[in-house]
Amino acid sequence: MHSGERGSGNLEMFGSLLRFYRERAGMTQEALGKCVGYSKSQVAMVERGERAPKGHFVEVADEQLGAQGALIAAARTLKRSRFPSWFEDYAEMEARATAIYMYTTHVIPGLLQTEAYARATFEVHRPSLEDDEIETRLAARLDRQRVLERKPAPVVGFVLEEHILNRPLGGDQALKEQLGRILDIGLRRNIEIQVMPTDRQDHSGLDGPMILLETESPDRIAYVEGPHNGYFVSQQPELGQMFARYGILRAQALNPEESAQLISEVAGRL
């Protein structure tokens, strides 16, 4: 059973209010964007709670949509965050977790990314992100990595699909530096990094990527992320099944020493 999509609330509520007044006024996102100096996609991001309104957006929108001060009042309570609203609850829980286990299928996970590689993941985002949005998200992602330096150190495990190691986001040099960082982090006693080879016939992770967390309670919870939202899994039997799948996945993957050797070989070819 899923606990549902989670978010900061404030940005999402403001976005819902904005959409209500825009639709009531019979105005399209594109038309509102022209009034406030935003693109259609930027207005959509504000309405989804993924972007905080900046500049004179609120005042102009309030006047153009006939909100009579409602948007201005709502904007005073906005919670400013560097994370998309739907990711905030996860980021908060991750920062205090005693154990973090990740299985990823598309890119190197954010906790392991170099600045150059992380920037590349945002620069190829579609629809395109504005420069200030890229910088905000980049700073937030790099700041998340402090959890790896925390004391007492959390237990951390990663299982990466082999093909991720060959995707040259940011170019070959950026990828080579990224692989070097993975090798360095993998030397830490509290962190294990494993690679799932592409030639495995038996694979327990075909349901897709997942993140598993343990906290001091000691509670266990899982998180599944999509393109524009994410949800927690906190109820049995699904939660237990996800932890079991991850355990099997680790057994099917290369061990940390074999994984480090493979990563070194890939980096050596760049």
Q: What is the pLDDT of residues 136-169, one digit of tens each?
A: 889 989 999 999 999 999 999 999 999 999 999 9
Q: Which two tokens stand for residue 61?
A: 């929108």
Are 43 and 95 members of one domain?
Answer: no
Give the pLDDT score at 269.
Answer: 96
What is the chain's mean pLDDT, rounded?
90
**Residue 140 phi, psi (nearest 5):** -65, -40
Are 24 and 71 members of one domain?
Answer: yes
Given a cut of 90, is residue 48 above it in pLDDT? no
Are 216 and 109 members of one domain?
Answer: yes
**Residue 116 phi, psi (nearest 5):** -65, -45
- pLDDT tens for each residue of 233-256: 888 999 999 999 999 999 999 999
Give the pLDDT score at 3.
Answer: 36
Tell me the pLDDT band of 218, cut-offs 50, 70 and 90.
low
Number of domains, the chain: 2
Average pLDDT over residues 3-19: 69
The CATH number covering residue 41 comes to 1.10.260.40
Give the pLDDT score at 225.
Answer: 85
The answer to whether 204 and 249 are in contact (CB under 8 A) is yes
- pLDDT tens for each residue of 119-133: 999 999 888 888 888
Tell me the pLDDT band of 84, cut-offs 50, 70 and 90.
low
Alpha helix ranges (H) inside the chain: 10-24, 29-36, 40-47, 57-64, 70-75, 88-95, 115-123, 131-144, 172-185, 238-252, 256-268
Are 213 and 254 members of one domain?
Answer: yes
**Residue 192 phi, psi (nearest 5):** -125, 130
13 burial type by CB count under 10 A (0-12 exposed, 13-18 middle, 19+ buried): middle
130 burial type by CB count under 10 A (0-12 exposed, 13-18 middle, 19+ buried): middle
Task: For residue 94, give its domain range.
Answer: 85-268
The CATH number covering residue 119 comes to 3.30.870
Give the pLDDT score at 7.
Answer: 38
The residue among 140 and 218 whose pLDDT is bigger is 140
Q: Tokens 């609330």 correspond to what residue?
A: 9
Tell me the pLDDT band of 5, cut-offs 50, 70 and 90.
very low
The span from the CA of 113 to the CA of 140, in Å, is 12
Q: What is the model's pTM?
A: 0.72
Domain-located, residue 139: yes
CA pseudo-torsion sign 162, 167, 171, 172: positive
